[in-house]
Amino acid sequence: MTDWSGYLSLILQGAVVTVQLTVMGSILALLMAFIAGLGRIAPFAVLRWLATAYIEFFRGTSIFVQLFFAYFVLPFAGFTLTPLQAGVLALGLNVGAYAAEVVRGAILSVGKEQYEACIALNLSRWQCMRRVILPQALLVMLPTFGNNAIELLKATSVVSLISLADMTFQANIVRSQTGNTLIPFATILALYFFFAMIIAFAMRALERRMARGLDGVRA
């Protein structure tokens, strides 16, 4: 009889790494999403061009390749990253590219009349964006951001390929040491699902909170 408690704690250690990657990757993705999303609609062509290049590049190449690039190729350019740093970088930049289009779309979904009210009240472009447009657009972004965060959570498993000991990596170790596939993989299946549920519930709660009193925009 195998003693599973040791193996399960190994998987839980991996779960901590998965959560770290998800949280830090999401923060970077959010940052990139707003920078590139606003860049896409900026009044300066250079900014629009840079944002488009970033988005198309990171959407158009595989996250697997991006990760290997960050971990194995960047050192040749003088940037040596730890597996965790490389993982956060690749995940954040990749998901950020998708989320940037969400930011852009949500901003464009706010009606022209809101911009006109800003002009009539003499707000600057930035004041209008920051105080009037973004708060309304954020509510439109949230459900898709929830999707993006869950995508990112699931994508974290690729980091096991650069030997970062996340949940999937540990499950593989347990599998090779015990010869049992069902228990370690059923465990991480349940854990991934559990984490995804937390993200989904958190996003819904946030959405409800932000939609308060806003019946005119989105119930």
Partner 1 sequence: MAEPIIAIDGITKSFGAFKVLDKLSLQVMPGEKLALIGPSGSGKTTILRILMTLERIDSGHIRIEGEELYHMPKNGSLVAADERHLTRMRQKIGMVFQLFNLFPHMCVLDNVTLAPRLTKGTPREAAEKRAMDLLDMVGMSAKAKAMPAQLSGGQKQRVAIARALALSPKIMLFDEVTSALDPELVEEVLNVMRKLASETDMTMLLVTHEMGFAHDFADRVLFFDRGRIVEEGKPDEIFRNPKQERTQTFLRKIIAAGHRV
Binding positions for partner 1, rule: CB under 8 A: 113-114, 116-117, 119-125, 127, 131-132, 135-136, 139, 213-217
**Residue 176 Cβ vs partner 1, minimum distance, rounded to whole Å:** 54
**Residue 42 Cβ vs partner 1, minimum distance, rounded to whole Å:** 15
The number of beta carbons lying within 10 Å of the beta carbon of residue 137 is 23
Q: Which is nearer to partner 1, 59 or 208 (CB)?
A: 208
Q: Which is nearer to partner 1, 139 or 141 (CB)?
A: 139
Only one residue has tokens 């960050």, namely 70
Nearest to 94 by CA among 61, 133, 131, 49: 61
Q: Which is nearer to partner 1, 63 or 141 (CB)?
A: 141
* Contacts by 138-142, CB closer than 8 A, 24 or more apart: 138/106, 138/210, 139/207, 139/210, 139/211, 139/214, 139/217, 139/218, 140/105, 140/106, 140/109, 140/110, 140/218, 141/102, 141/103, 141/106, 142/203, 142/206, 142/207, 142/210
**Residue 139 Cβ vs partner 1, minimum distance, rounded to whole Å:** 8
**Residue 26 Cβ vs partner 1, minimum distance, rounded to whole Å:** 24
Q: Which is nearer to partner 1, 122 or 163 (CB)?
A: 122
Q: Which is nearer to partner 1, 47 or 173 (CB)?
A: 47
The number of beta carbons lying within 10 Å of the beta carbon of residue 64 is 13
Count of positions (residues) in the chain = 219
**Residue 129 Cβ vs partner 1, minimum distance, rounded to whole Å:** 12
